[in-house]
Amino acid sequence: MGKLVIDGGERISGEICVQGAKNAVLPILAATVMADGISVIQNCPKLRDVDKTTLVLERLGSKVVRDGNTVTVDTRDMYDCEICEDLMREMRSSIIFLGAIISRCKKAVVSMPGGCPIGLRPIDLHLKALRQMGVEIREEHGYIKCYASKLTGGNIHLDFPSVGATENIMLAAVCADGTTTISNAAREPEIVDLGNFLNKMGARVSGVGTSVITIEGVKKLQSVEYTIMPDRIVAATYLAASAITGGEICLTKVNPQDMGAMLHVLSEMGVRLRCEKDRITQLAPKRLKSIHTVRTMPYPGFPTDIQSPFMSLAAMAKGTSVFIENIFENRFQHVDELTRMGADIKVEGRSAVVRGVNSLEGANVVARELRGGAALVVAALAASGTTVITGTEFIDRGYENIEKYLSDCGAKIRRG
């Protein structure tokens, strides 16, 4: 098992070019199976989740070639419609292939998904919507078996604005007969990126970024070249890494418009921000101020994915902060590890009360999921002494070469 070794106390200052977005590239790679041709995906980050997604594509019969941050997918010889159990267990987001495979093959077989253990992420919304579109679904021995003689558009209302369900419906609907309307759709920027990709392929998708998405079915899609949007969660994590150390950092190839809630909280904590079209410059104070209350919400609210790294900021801020987790019921797994480093955090249900301390101390800690691992990295950068973080396979699911980006900005961080 890999580990990160961090000697804390160094100011994180410099410039970082933000990687492509994990949560955008995965559904876009899945969407390539719907075009019988060669698609070229640029700004594709080097992540464990991307590697697993390309492996799914290869198991389906596609040819995948990576050259730097460009991934080429040739789906002309795709022959399979089943995703094996081992891949589904490793990466919950592989469920996004369901809509795409059904769209192309009119059948699909997948096992129940796995992924980070951050709580229940039921796929009943996905399956309910697909049934409305004419898909026959059987759940047998841990597998989901889907069949459809044809896909038919309709009016689909989501009980919760699920990102994954919205994406799966979009993928299934682009080549369905008639028009599909998704109400209470997810509004995340990654949904917009998927919609832009599909439209470039020849789909007719409108309303992305709003709560009502309309998809007019087309006969076929064409393969295209496309550039993935920047990762707003990674961008906010590097802002947090610099802020907790009193540093000054500039992020390039980033979209500040996608990060409103996160930037607002950073501003409340006392950092000075300058936002341009594709650049964010941040200057942090010697000590951050506490946040009154942070509630995780669907976009455009505060993202659950950045809750844990920002809790590390609050752990060393002046005053008391409250975090309320409204998305996942088990997303405080980082708290025990932060407490080992000297943080003062009390959890009750879905609420965490964080009383800022003057300093944290290095310790041996374990990353138990992706964003909690990022929180430990952020805390370790400001802690006195050395922190050893195991469970780096979780961090590598969403952060490309995190030690290089941070060391280039002054961190003393290395792989163990």
* Catalytic site positions: 116
Query: Buried (b) or exposed (e) across 377-409, using 16+ Cβ within 10 A?
Result: bbbbbbbeeebebbbbebbbbbbbebbebbbeb
Q: What one-letter code names the amino acid at 20?
A: G
Q: What one-letter code names the amino acid at 409?
A: C
Please state, in angstroms and rounded to a whole number, the distance separating the CA atoms of residues 336 and 352: 12
Q: Which residues contact 354 (CB under 8 A, 6 or more apart)?
A: 290, 311, 314, 315, 317, 320, 321, 322, 323, 343, 344, 345
Neighbours of 232 (CB within 10 A): 28
**Which single residue is written with the structure tokens 């003393």?**
412
Please state, in angstroms and rounded to a whole number, the distance separating the CA atoms of residues 285 and 275: 18
Q: Sign of dihedral through CA atoms 370, 375, 378, 381?
A: negative
Please, are residues 23 and 235 in contact by the beta-carbon 8 Å criterion?
A: no
Nearest Cα to Cα of residue 46 among 31, 63, 64, 67: 67
Q: From residue 367, give the alpha-carbon distance in Å to each of 3, 308, 332, 338.
A: 10, 12, 12, 11
CA angle in degrees (0–180, nearest 5) for 372-392-238: 55
Please state, in angstroms and rounded to a whole number, the distance separating the CA atoms of residues 203 and 320: 49
Give the pairing of strands 107-111 and 272-276. Answer: unpaired
Please state, in angstroms and rounded to a whole number, the distance separating the CA atoms of residues 382 and 145: 49
Please state, in angstroms and rounded to a whole number, the distance separating the CA atoms of residues 332 and 373: 11
Q: Radius of gyration of the chain from Cα atoms? A: 21
- The two three-digit tokens of residue 236, written as one number: 């906010």
Please tell me what DSSP assigns to residue 289.
Answer: B
Q: Is 128 exposed, middle or buried (0-12, 13-18, 19+ CB in 10 A)?
A: middle
